Amino acid sequence: MIRTCFFFLAIVGLSAAPETGKVASVSDDGWAKITPPKGETVLLRRFSEGDRKVGWVGRTIRYEVVMEGKESQARGVVSADAEELRQVAEVTDVLRRETADKGRMVTRMPNELMPNMALWDQAGRLVMKKDLLGHPIALNFVFTSCRVARMCPASTSCMKQLGDSLAKLPGAANVRLVTITFDPETDTPGVLRTYADGYGIDHVRHRFLTGDEAQIKDLMRHYGIQTLRDDGTIVHNAALIVISPEGRITYRSEGPSFDAEDIAARLLKLSGTAGTKSR
C-alpha cells in the first residue's frame, strides 16, 4: 500500500506552497503569465479549461502549483484581491454574529429577508447581496462532485429547465438564478464554470457562487440546508428558495427537484413587483 501511494504521488505530482500573483495574460491553450507580488521573473502556469474561460487577466489570484510531467499546473485558483477579501471578511463576520444571535431559530422563513453575502461567481466576480436586489431570484445549493443522480444533478437539471423556461417568457429578463456550492474547497470559480458549461447554463442569468467556507456554512443554516460528511461524500437535504426583488423570501420548495414552469410563473409574477432596493 505504501509503495502504491508513493507511485501515485510520483505520477500526479506534489502541491507546493500556495503562490500569489497578478495574471498578465492567458493563452488560448491555457498558459497563464503571472507576475509575483515583488515583481520577480514572470511565472508560467497552466490553467484548467474552467480557469482559462474565467481568464483572471488583470486580477490578483492565489493557487496551488501541481507538477504534471514538466508542466506547472495552477490548481484551486481563487481571488486574492485585497479589497475583495476585506469585503468578504466583513460580511462573514457580520453573518457569523447574526447566526449566533439567532440561536436555534436560524432558518429564515417566508417573508423574512435574505441574509447578507459576498461570494465569487463562475466568472471570478465578487457578488454581494446588493448586486442581486432588484431581481426576483431562485436560489439553491449543490456541490459539483455529487454523484447521486436524484440530488445535485437533478437539482441542477431543474435549474437549467427553469432558465430555459424563463428565456421563453416575455418580461423574464430581470429574473436571476443563484446556485451556491457547499463544497467551496473543491468548487472554485473555474470548477463552477466547467460544471455550468456541462449543463449548458446561461451564465448571464444563472450565477454559481463559492467563497469563504465559514460564510457558506452560515448561509446554509439561514436557508435551512444541512450537510453531513459520510464515506467520502456529502449527505445533505435540498430546497429551492424564491426571493423577491426586495430581498424577501416568498416561497420554499423542499427537495432537489421542482416544477420549473410553476417556479417560472412565481418568478415572473414577482418581476412585476420590483420596487426600491433595500439592504
Neighbouring residues of 8: CB distance < 8 A, sequence distance ≥ 6: none
100 and 181 in a single domain? The answer is: yes
Distance CA 13, CA 15 (A): 7
Q: Which range marks the domain in which residue 206 is found?
A: 83-271
User: Which residues of the chain register pLDDT less than 70?
Assistant: 1-16, 229-234, 273-279
Domain boundary among 79, 99, 116: 79
Condensed to tens digits (0 to 9), the pLDDT of residues 46-76 reads: 999 999 999 999 999 999 999 988 899 999 9
Angle formed by the axes of helices 213-222 and 82-102, nearest 10°: 40
Strand partners, 251: 242
- Domain membership of residue 197 (yes or no) is yes
Q: What is the pTM of this model?
A: 0.89
Domain boundary among 23, 58, 79: 79
Domain boundary among 63, 79, 95: 79
Condensed to tens digits (0 to 9), the pLDDT of residues 203-235 reads: 999 999 999 999 999 999 999 998 776 666 667
Helix (H) or strand (E) holding 211: none
In this structure, what C-alpha cell is assigned to residue 115?
Answer: 441574509
185 and 72 in a single domain? The answer is: no
72 and 144 in a single domain? The answer is: no
